Amino acid sequence: MPNPTAAMLVIGDEILSGRTRDSNMHYLAGELTKHGIDLKEARMVSDDHDTIVTAVKALSSNHDHVFTSGGIGPTHDDITADCIAAAFDRSIDVRDDARALLAAHYARTGAELNEARLRMARIPEGATLIENPVSVAPGFTLENVHVMAGVPSVFQAMVASVLPTLTGGAPLLSQTLRINQGEGVIAGPLGVLAKDFPDLMIGSYPFQKDGVYGANIVIRGTDGALIDQAMTRLADLFPE
């Protein structure tokens, strides 16, 4: 059975303006690979209602899971929850269990649960909350979309809350061989090898270091023995 597929949607003007370099996609990619869920696509969009709704609909219908980051805080530019509700034609309002989490948190810290903070308890109808052990305000899952915060420490904690609840497939295994020859030399034999092992993914990632051209050849797949076999042939092709 093929692994479940996933897409990620990174939401935020700050990514597209170049102000902030996203790190959540790279983190999620690694976690999904370990869990046996294949990340097939990632999109980065700005804080625009229609753009987000369109992307959520497209990704949700094309993949088993969608993970979003960003836009669930208390400020005016945090519009993700409303966009998710709109994408699935659901109502959205402050929900008692989410409000209770925030109320208890702010009671402890002595801050006021004001109107802005209460926005973080607005949850689309029918969603399940995602626990936030870092800063309490929850994420949520609606249909196959998992909505999480953009702050990396919170995003990572939410991924840790959600991932164990999802059925994974076979983890993707990989082995790497560094070859100190140019890709132009490697390419011919490597192409033959790739044809001989159609069930494996064989990638070539060139580098240039201290004037030496080379490439890291990465062989990936779910069958460890098959990877060993391909790696042995690769090593024979390019002895040190």
Binding stretches for its own copies (CB under 8 A): 12-23, 25-33, 39-47, 51, 73-77, 111-112, 114-117, 119, 135, 151, 153, 172, 174, 182-188, 190-191, 194-195, 201-208, 215, 218, 220
Nearest to 56 by CA among 29, 83, 24: 83
Q: Name which of 13 and 143 has its Cβ closer to its own copies.
A: 13
How far is it, in rounded angstroms, from Cα 39 to Cα 29?
6
Q: What residues pair up with 112 in beta bridges, in sequence order? A: none
As measured in angstroms, the least distance from the Cβ of 181 to its own copies is 10
Q: Name which of 114 and 128 has its Cβ closer to its own copies.
A: 114
Q: What residues pair up with 179 in beta bridges, in sequence order? A: 215
As measured in angstroms, the least distance from the Cβ of 182 to its own copies is 7
Q: What residues pair up with 212 in beta bridges, in sequence order? A: 209
Q: Name which of 27 and 88 has its Cβ closer to its own copies.
A: 27
How far is it, in rounded angstroms, from Cα 121 to Cα 125?
12
As measured in angstroms, the least distance from the Cβ of 123 to its own copies is 17
How far is it, in rounded angstroms, from Cα 219 to Cα 210?
25
Q: Name which of 50 and 89 has its Cβ closer to its own copies.
A: 50
Q: Name which of 74 and 90 has its Cβ closer to its own copies.
A: 74
Q: Name which of 89 and 209 has its Cβ closer to its own copies.
A: 209
Q: Name which of 27 and 90 has its Cβ closer to its own copies.
A: 27
CB 27 within 8 A of CB 152: yes
How far is it, in rounded angstroms, from Cα 120 to Cα 92?
12
Number of H helices, E strands in the chain: 9, 11
How far is it, in rounded angstroms, from Cα 107 to Cα 49?
33
As measured in angstroms, the least distance from the Cβ of 192 to its own copies is 9
Tokens of 88: 């699935």
Chain centroid offset of residue 142 CA: 16
As measured in angstroms, the least distance from the Cβ of 96 to its own copies is 19
As measured in angstroms, the least distance from the Cβ of 204 to its own copies is 4
As measured in angstroms, the least distance from the Cβ of 126 to its own copies is 26
How far is it, in rounded angstroms, from Cα 16 to Cα 164?
31
